[in-house]
Amino acid sequence: MPDYETLRLIWWGLLGVLLIGFAIADGFDLGVASLLPFVAKKDEERRIVINTVGPVWEGNQVWLILAGGATFAAWPSLYAVSFSGFYLAIFLALFGLILRPVGFKFRSKMPSSAWRQTWDILLFFGGVVPSLIFGVAVGNLFLGASFHFDDLLRVIYTGTFWELLTPFPLLCGLLSVTMIVLHGGVYLIAKTNDPIAQRTRIIVIISALTAIILFAVGGIACAWQLNGFQYLSAITGDAPSNPLGKEVVLMKGAWLHNYTLYPWMMIAPALGFSGYIGVIPAVMGRYEKFSFILSAMSIFGIISTVGLSLYPFILPSATHPGHSLTIWDASSSQLTLFIMLLGVIIFLPIVLIYTSWVYRVLRGKVTPEILEENQTNAY
């Protein structure tokens, strides 16, 4: 069995991989749902848009379930604190997400246009609301949440729902929605013909410019405005997971501290920017697959930037900085991390293999003819 410190680092990386997996895989179908009312006007167009993700969104959403399950397993205190602390926000995201399975399945099962329009609106919210809330939640990681622990390590959350909606988290929420819309857009362009694709191209280009600006503003805020957290105690990578009894201070600009210590980390924000800079000419030049890869690259870069900036924190406490959750004191036991790692090593490649087979089977654009052929089951 690898040592505890290594396992914790691996699982920190894997948490990132799963979140990035979720943002890339489920991200485009959330994005497609968010674009639905804007790029498709007639019912047939809407059905085309929905059917671009119809067969695959369900598998994609498992990335979120898995990210949740893996957080529960590998970072139980993170799971407990974030889900209970952000209670109403998480509930809103959840509500959006559970609209989707029934929305996709039920929408086209009744001919009435009122019925279909209602589901279209719900699907739109199901795409936008979770994207916005996940972004706002990530933004709040940078500010720290209002929580501490009692002697039994029960979490006591003292914040409110409205307290989560301050400028920096809202900026992150906007960035998140933009990323998701853009990602859904490049997918939609690859899977549809004009005029849907043409309308989407314009939105993608606007989104790319917006995302670049928002990401840059976020970086500037981290440098000049936000108080970052700094870990002062000596790090013992194999200590038991107990978040109490360490020393942490707040300092302006501390969230950029890691980039001075480890300059290689600059790769992450660089990837974030360059993907979106590249996606504009790629979309205009009709390089459909390449645009999708560039968008995925930016998602990878931006989410990695979050993780690397926060390192070694995963969820800081604004009210009791010493109770913040870090990589070294919030993980599950060495044995559990190891067994879960084995599970991931064995099963994740299998999942990736059959998922790519499914995409291969479903390759090609969604056209009215395809809907006609599959009358019984198309959405």
Partner 1 sequence: MDLSALDLSRLQFGMTALYHFLFVPLTLGLSLIIAIMESVYVMTNKEIWRDMTRFWGILFGINFAMGVATGVPLEFQFGMNWAYYSHYVGDVFGSLLAMEGLMAFFLEATFVGLFFFGWNRLSKLQHLIVTWLVAIGSNLSALWILIANAWMQNPIGSHFNPETMRMEMTSFYDVFFNPVAQSKFVHTVSAGYVTGAIFVMGISAFYMLRGRYMAFAKRSMVVAASFGLASALSVVVLGDESGYTMTEHQKMKIAAIEAMWETEPAPAGLAIFGWPDVKAQKTYYEIKVPWVLGLIATRSLSQQMPGIQELVRHGKVRIKNGAIAYGALEKLRKNRLDKETWHLFQQHQNDLGYGLLLKKYTAYPQRASIHEIEQAAQDLVPNVFCLFWSFRLMVGFGLYFILFFTIAFILASRDRLEKSRWFQKMAVLSLPFPWIAAELGWIVAEHGRQPWTVDGVLPTFLSATDIQASAVWTTFLAFITFYTVLLIVDLKLMIKYIRLGPVKALGPQSFGRVIDAGL
Residues 132-151, interacting with partner 1 (CB under 8 A): 151
Give the bridge partners for 313, in sequence order: 326
Between 96 and 312, name the residue whose CB sits nearer to partner 1.
96
Q: In whole angstroms, how close is the CB of 82 to partner 1 at the nearest point?
A: 7
* Closest separation in Å from C-beta 310 to partner 1: 20
Give the nearer residue to partner 1 in terms of CB position, either 336 or 367: 336
Structure tokens at 377: 């089951």
Binding mask 95-114 for partner 1 (x = CB under 8 A): x-xxxxxx-xxx--xx----
Burial class (CB in 10 A: 0-12, 13-18, 19+), 160: exposed
In the complex, minimum distance from the CB of residue 73 to partner 1, in angstroms, rounded to a whole number: 4
Shortest Å, Cβ 72 to partner 1? 3
Residues 6+ apart with CB under 8 A from 283: 186, 189, 201, 204, 205, 208, 291
C-alpha distances in Å from residue 139, one per residue of 13, 36, 110, 168, 270: 19, 27, 40, 6, 20
Q: How far apart are CA 259 and CA 30, in angstroms?
A: 32
Which residue from 371, 375, 377 is spatially nearest to 46, judged by alpha carbons? 371
Selected range binding partner 1 among 87-95, 191-199, 256-264, 272-280, rule: CB under 8 A = 87-95
Nearer to partner 1, 224 or 357 (CB): 357
Region binding partner 1 by CB under 8 A among candidate stretches 83-91, 170-178, 283-291, 296-304: 83-91
Q: Show contacts with partner 1 in window 152-171 (CB under 8 A).
A: 152-157
Residues 6+ apart with CB under 8 A from 268: 301, 302, 304, 305, 308
Residues 235-274 that bind partner 1 (CB under 8 A): 240-242
Q: Which amino acid is at 324?
A: S
The DSSP symbol for 318 reads: S
Residue from 2, 13, 91, 289 touching partner 1 (CB under 8 A): that is 91
Min CB(78)–partner 1 separation in Å: 9
By CB under 8 A, what part of segment 201-240 binds partner 1? 240
Give the nearer residue to partner 1 in terms of CB position, either 256 or 339. 339
Q: Which is nearer to partner 1, 68 or 219 (CB)?
A: 68
Question: Any contact of residue 61 with partner 1 (CB under 8 A)?
Answer: yes
Identify which of residues 201 and 320 has a Cβ nearer to partner 1 in the complex: 320
Among the listed ranges 33-41, 170-178, 265-273, 369-377, the one in contact with partner 1 (CB under 8 A) is 369-377
Q: Select the residue interacting with partner 1 from 7, 50, 56, 180 (CB under 8 A).
A: 56
| Residue list 295-354, contact with partner 1 (CB under 8 A) | 332-333, 335-336, 339-340, 343-344, 347-348, 351, 354
Nearer to partner 1, 104 or 311 (CB): 104
Report the alpha-carbon distance of residue 73 to residue 286 in Å, rounded. Answer: 43
Closest contact distance (angstroms) between CB of 75 and partner 1 is 8
Least distance (Å) between residue 145 CB and partner 1: 13
Contacts of 130 (CB under 8 A, 6+ apart): 30, 93, 96, 97
How far apart are the C-alpha atoms of 31 and 225, rounded to whole Å? Answer: 31
CB atoms within 10 A of CB 229: 25
Pick 281 or 343: Cβ nearer partner 1: 343
Q: What is the 3-state secondary structure (H, E, C) of 173-214?
A: HHHHHHHHHHHHHHHHHHHCCCCHHHHHHHHHHHHHHHHHHH
Question: What is the Cα–Cα distance from 128 to 32, expressed in whole angstroms?
Answer: 10
